[in-house]
């Protein structure tokens, strides 16, 4: 069982954590899991999530050419002619890079099953971003890879519908991302986080922790902060995450234009205990995205007992059903209304909401349960059982 991800290092953010956590739990459940990636050895070793998965089971392949393409001739040779048995399954995480060529070669030369998980990359908003590059990728390799996958892996019914709208007819397994029981039972130090980033003790914290990239909706949310006016006076918006496409500069310029510089703090990427401290310090978490698959950051917030404000791009309808936060349309007016309600909530109310979210993910979205579901998909693809009920048939 191979999990193929262009990266599992820190720069992969939530996507690498998905592959690592899934592979680690599946290994415990009896699967001979391995990870193929294009990271350097140092990038793998410095990823805190690797602590639970044996490093000797992570194979790194060197790349050639532009980094965004993730082209690796050695990966392609291994996929076509490597020493892994032909009956093995390859599970690809995310698309659009040249790792998809390796998946296609695996299917063509080994006749082994392949599962492709787009992780939200076939959502209409995501497809339009850098559309000309994706059009070229579709023509060159991605179209064949997607059409010939034994099964596609959607994280929600909404993503499955997006996959069908894209024109793909393959079977689709609907299995969400999960959260580790270790994360749920862990704790952070809020005082350490406040001290490290010089956040006054009297200010309540609204946390964003994800990539700072256009699809995450930060400019739209800054508009909401301006609209909140004096209701936001006792709060500080902490923006944590790596900058993509120089988007941080655009967000910071908007913050300055609206006179919010004293109430918004950019703290850079957070990993390991620093990330856990951030969630411990947060009164609430926000992810105002235009497009998502099944965001790990939201699961981490809920697992840490932090109430969530997000948009309908996040397919976790259970947030509202469990009264664990807010999930609204991805536009300024509904986001502002939800933000004002959040800002007006007492610490006690937010604590209760956070506890509901934590119980929800513990009960339904642990990696153990998710890995067991995917195990049924693998057994079906190997002809060992009938198609599971959560796998949509080919059309």
For residue 247, give the 3-state DSSP assignment: helix
Give the model's pLDDT for residue 224.
98
Contacts of 218 (CB under 8 A, 6+ apart): 208, 212, 239, 247, 251, 288
Contacts of 249 (CB under 8 A, 6+ apart): 243
Give the model's pLDDT for residue 288.
98
259-282 pLDDT, tens digit each: 999 999 999 999 889 999 999 999
Residues of the chain where predicted confidence (pLDDT) is lower than 50: none
HSE of 361, CA atoms in CB hemisphere, 13 A: 34
Q: What average pLDDT does the structure give for the chain?
A: 93
Q: Say if CB 49 and CB 25 are below 8 A apart.
A: no
Give the model's pLDDT for residue 198.
94
- Domains present along the chain, CATH in parentheses: 2-178+366-392 (3.40.50.2000), 181-364 (3.40.50.2000)
Give the model's pLDDT for residue 20.
92
Give the model's pLDDT for residue 49.
64
Give the model's pLDDT for residue 38.
95
The model carries a pTM of: 0.89
Give the model's pLDDT for residue 263.
97
Q: How many CB atoms lie within 10 A of CB 274?
A: 19
Taking Cα atoms as reference points, which of 77, 79, 85, 32 lies closest to residue 54?
A: 32
Give the model's pLDDT for residue 37.
95
Question: Could you give the residue ranges of the DSSP H alpha helices within the chain?
Answer: 14-28, 41-45, 73-81, 99-110, 124-128, 131-137, 143-148, 157-165, 181-185, 190-196, 218-228, 247-257, 272-281, 296-303, 318-321, 332-343, 347-364, 367-381
Taking Cα atoms as reference points, which of 2, 178, 14 lies closest to residue 99?
A: 2
Structure tokens given for 61: 């392949």
Q: Say if CB 179 and CB 318 are below 8 A apart.
A: no
Give the model's pLDDT for residue 133.
87
Contacts of 48 (CB under 8 A, 6+ apart): 271, 272
Give the model's pLDDT for residue 77.
92
Q: Say if CB 207 and CB 241 are below 8 A apart.
A: no
């Amino acid at each position: 069982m191979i999990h193929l991800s262009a990266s599992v290092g820190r720069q992969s953010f939530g996507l690498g954590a998905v592959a690592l956590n899934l592979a680690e739990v599946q290994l415990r459940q009896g699967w001979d899991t391995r990870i193929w990636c294009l990271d350097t050895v140092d990038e793998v070793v410095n990823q805190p999530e690797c602590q639970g998965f044996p490093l000797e089971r992570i194979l790194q392949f060197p790349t050639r050419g532009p980094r965004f393409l993730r082209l690796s001739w050695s990966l392609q040779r291994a996929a076509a002619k490597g020493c892994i048995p032909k009956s093995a399954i390859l599970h690809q995480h995310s698309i659009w890079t040249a790792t998809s060529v390796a998946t296609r070669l695996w299917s063509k030369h080994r006749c082994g099953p392949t599962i492709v998980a787009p992780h939200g990359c076939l959502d209409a908003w995501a497809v339009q971003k850098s559309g000309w590059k994706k059009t070229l990728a579709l023509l060159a390799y991605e179209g064949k890879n997607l059409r010939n996958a034994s099964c596609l892996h959607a994280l929600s019914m909404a993503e499955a519908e997006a996959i069908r709208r894209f024109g793909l007819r393959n079977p689709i397994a609907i299995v969400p991302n999960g959260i580790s029981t270790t994360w749920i039972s862990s704790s952070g130090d809020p005082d350490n986080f406040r001290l490290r980033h010089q956040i006054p003790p009297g200010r309540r914290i609204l946390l964003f922790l994800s990539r700072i990239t256009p699809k995450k909706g930060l400019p739209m949310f800054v508009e909401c902060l301006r609209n909140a006016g004096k209701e936001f006076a006792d709060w500080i918006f902490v923006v944590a995450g790596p900058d993509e496409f120089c988007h941080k500069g655009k967000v910071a310029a908007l913050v300055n234009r609206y006179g919010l510089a004293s109430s918004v703090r950019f703290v850079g990427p957070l990993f390991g205990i620093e990330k856990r401290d951030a969630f411990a310090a947060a009164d609430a978490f926000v992810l105002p995205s235009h497009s998502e698959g099944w965001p790990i950051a939201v699961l981490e917030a809920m697992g840490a007992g932090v109430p969530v404000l997000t948009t309908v791009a996040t397919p976790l309808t259970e947030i509202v059903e469990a009264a664990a936060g807010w999930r609204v349309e991805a536009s300024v007016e509904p986001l502002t209304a939800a933000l004002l309600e959040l800002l007006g909530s007492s610490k006690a109310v937010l604590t209760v909401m956070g506890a509901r979210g934590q119980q929800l993910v513990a009960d339904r979205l642990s990696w153990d349960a998710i890995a067991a579901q995917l195990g049924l998909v693998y057994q079906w693809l190997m002809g060992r059982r009938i198609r599971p009920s959560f796998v949509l048939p080919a059309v």
